[in-house]
Structure 1
Amino acid sequence: MAVTLAEVAVRAGVSPATVSRVLNGGYPVAGGTRTRVERAVEELGYVANASARALAAATSDLVGILVHDIADAWFGILGGSLQGALDPAGEGEARRLSVVCNTQGAPAAENSYLALLEGQRVGGVVLTGAAAEDPEHTAALTARITRMAASGTRVVLCGRPPLQVPAALPVATLVFDDRGGAFRLAEHLLALGHRRIAHIAGPPGLSATRERLAGHREALRRHDPALPEACAALTVHAASERSAGYDAARELLRRGEPFTAVAAAGDTVAAGVAAALREAGLRIPEDVSVAGFDDLPFSQDTAPALTTVRLPLREAGVLAAQLVTGRRALPPGGITTLPTELMVRGSTAPPPTARRAP
């Protein structure tokens, strides 16, 4: 038979209300009293009824974290940082239970998990990764997030564009400067002397793909208005796996269009690109420069080390945790743009023709 809160109160020699205060956190309780209650809870094996607590309050202490693929290093770093930062910041703060939902980037799965979390009166939700740019899905997502936020759920959108929700609702958006990062990477390749720059973009229909491709093309256009068209045949869309980068590079080689540099949508994709180029007998960077995006940990350990664009994934995770727990106030307008940083390493160099020039 389940132990009741009243039984814990008798064992600790306090009132049931005091036990409730200790378990819920956020209320001042003397240290000695808190210790007696916690000891009684442990000795009796008391388990709080989360469902009853959720019904009594507007929301529960559950935080849902939606990722595309937890096995992907991008989401693993961000999600791990976020989950670690959810730990109580002080003695009076309650511990939160987090659940990671793997959507594989599918809008239907995203909707289904949000519906389940809404049914649990979840206290907070963090949606990570690029958003599917489908008007019907965006409308449905906006309606659900608006409803959840209005009932007290804190929502953080991390790495995706903001939704059109009422300004008064507890919804925050953390946006990576994908466009600026892609622009600076293309500028770097152009400054080295590259003009035939291949671009392996992410899957079509995703917000990050659109932003990075736009930044890449803008840098080409500013350097020479004819360059975007000249490099159009050197653009390939690919998924985020290493094998997708390998296949995309093989497709570029099959097309027979000359190129001296490859800007990949991610570091994992860039690793696949490098493997395909080496298999074809090409040296990096002597024959072809290769660059990535994200600055995942392994990018410094490749041979040569990978030039890439750093996304502040760990910092974003901490900030998302602070926002979803209410430790940090919502930013003005609800939106925070996180800067990207170009990391120049050994995988990029001037093209062969430039090195041979006197």
Structure 2
Amino acid sequence: MAVTLAEVAAHAGVSPATVSRVLNGGYPVAGGTRTRVERAVEELGYIANAPARALAGATSDLIGILVHDIADGYFGVLTGGLQHGLDPTGEGEARRLSVVCNTQGVPATETACLALLEGQRAGGVVLAGAAAEDPEQTAALAARVARMAAAGARVVLCGRPPLPVSPALPVATVVFDERGGAFRLAEHLLALGHRRIAYVAGPPDRSSTRERLAGHREALRRHDPALTDACAPLTVHAGSERSAGYDATRELLRRGEPFTAVAAAGDAAAAGAAAALREAGLRIPEDVSVAGFDDLPFSQDTAPALTTVRVPLREAGALAAQLVTGRRPLPPGGITTLPTELMVRGSTAPPPATGRTP
């Protein structure tokens, strides 16, 4: 015979309501009491009836995680931090089932995945990664998110701008200081003496591309207004993958415009840029400096190690887990901005005083 909630409560010496609070999460329960309840659950082998709980309330224990591509290192690190945050002890404390949906960053796919999660009465959703800046799609996404939040699901936007929804709804936004990070990276290159800085930007319709490119250009403008126009022909929009950085850098070389540094709006693209430069017979950083963005795990192991901007992806994932489960209240205004950090390594150096440049 199945163990009942009342039996768990009696075994733990607490009320059934307290057991329910512990199992549902998101409610303040004293640490000692929570431990007794969890021990009773384990000893008695209690299994919650998730469908019944979903019918009784507005939502289930399902957490949906929407990413562009889980195989991308950016999303792999972020999702790892998020899933660890759902079960920080590694002992099943959070009692959440998470499902990862690959959307390729396509707005229609995002809304379709949200519709499926809404049908499953998901208790929470995390939408991660840059947003496509299309007003019609943004409105459709905001309407879907608002409806889910109004039904009781917590929604967290991570690494993207806030949506136009009511501040009364349980919708939180975690953003990175991408503009500031790109500004500091460009300042670093300028301080080294670079004036012909190529920039491999992300797709032109993405929120992160806008922020990072704006920071890069602002640093150029503040150093010397003439640099903005001088470096404009050295900007190429590309994807975030290694092959995109490789192709974009080959295009820059083909144009014949001289440059002494390449800043890529992503570490994978920076790795591709470095490969294209080496293929052209150029040394890094002796002939051309290379820098990336995100500080993915491989960045320290390249030769030379990659100068980049650290985005706190794992920390953001852990924070998103706390917000989507209700273990952390919504911040004032619903928005949390996480800082980025310049990581100076061996791939950047002063430009060559003489000798060849592309």
Q: Same fold (TM over 0.5)?
A: yes
- Asked if 1:154 corresponds to 2:157, the answer is no
The equivalent residue for 1:169 is 169
CA offsets 1:211-255 (integer angstroms, 9 cap, x no match): 101111111111111211111111111111111111111010011
The Cα of 1:13 is off from its aligned counterpart by: 9.5
User: How far has the Cα of 1:21 moved from its partner?
Assistant: 3.9
Q: Which amino acid aligns with 2:65?
A: I
2:37 & 2:209 partners in 1: Cα distance? Answer: 55
1:245/1:269 contact within 8 Å kept? yes
Corresponding letter in the other structure for 2:286: E
1:248-268 alpha-carbon deviations (Å, 9 max, x no partner): 110100111110000001111
Match of residue 342 from structure 2: 342
Identity among equivalent positions (%) equals: 77
Q: Is contact 1:153-1:170 (8 Å) kept?
A: yes
Residues in 2 aligned to 1:140 and 1:325: alpha-carbon distance in whole angstroms: 25
SS of residue in 2 equivalent to 1:183? helix
Q: Distance in 2 between matches of 1:147 and 1:240?
A: 32
Post-superposition offset of 1:204: 1.3
* 1:82 maps onto 2:78 in alignment: no
Deviations 1:295-315 (A, max 9, x none): 111111111111100101111
Segments of 5+ residues of structure 1 without an aligned counterpart are none
Deviation at 1:9, TM superposition (A): 6.0
**Residues 181-227 of structure 1: per-residue CA shift (max 9 Å, x gap):** 11111111111111110000001100000110111111111111121
Counterpart-to-counterpart distance in 2, 1:31 and 1:176: 35
Listed as ranges, the matches of 1:52-71 within 5 Å are 52-71=52-71
Aligned equivalent of 1:286 = 286
Q: Which residue pairs with 1:261 in the alignment?
A: 261
Change (3 A) 1:39 1:210: same
| Cα contact 1:78–1:314 (8 A) shared by 2 | yes
Change (3 A) 1:32 1:196: closer
For 1:207, the equivalent position in structure 2 comes to 207
Tell me the TM-score normalised to structure 2 length: 0.89
- Paired residues for 1:316-331 under 5 Å: 316-331=316-331
Pair 1:180–1:7, CA change in 2 (3 A): closer
- Give the equivalent residue in structure 1 for 2:273: 273
Give the Cα–Cα distance (whole angstroms) in 2 for the partners of residues 355 and 347 of structure 1.
Answer: 18
2:188 and 2:37 map into 1 onto residues whose CA distance is 62
CA–CA distance in structure 2, aligned partners of residues 54 and 166 of structure 1: 25
- Looking at structure 1, the residues matched to 236 and 171 of structure 2 have their Cα atoms a distance apart, in angstroms, of 35
Query: Which residue in the other structure is 1:301 paired with?
Result: 301
* TM superposition shift of 1:48: 4.3
Deviation at 1:155, TM superposition (A): 0.8
Structure 2: distance between partners of 1:166 and 1:320: 19
Summarize deviations over 1:274-299 as a string: whole Å, max 9, x none.
Answer: 01100100000110000000011111
CA RMSD, Structure 1 to Structure 2 (Å) = 2.9
| Residue-pair matches, total | 347
Contact kept in structure 1, 2:3 and 2:44, CA below 8 Å: no
| Structure 2: distance between partners of 1:34 and 1:336 | 31
Aligned position for 1:134 = 134
Alpha carbons 1:196, 1:261 under 8 Å: kept: yes
> Which structure is larger by alpha-carbon Rg, 1 or 2?
1
SS in 1 for 2:225: coil
Q: Name the counterpart of 1:217.
A: 217
Gaps of 5+ in 2: none
Say whether the 8 Å CA contact 1:184–1:342 is kept in structure 2. yes
TM-score by length of structure 1 reads 0.89
Greater shift, 137-146 or 18-27, is seen at 18-27
SS at match of 1:231: helix
Secondary structure of residue in 2 paired with 1:157: strand
The answer for the alignment partner of 2:249 in structure 1 is 249
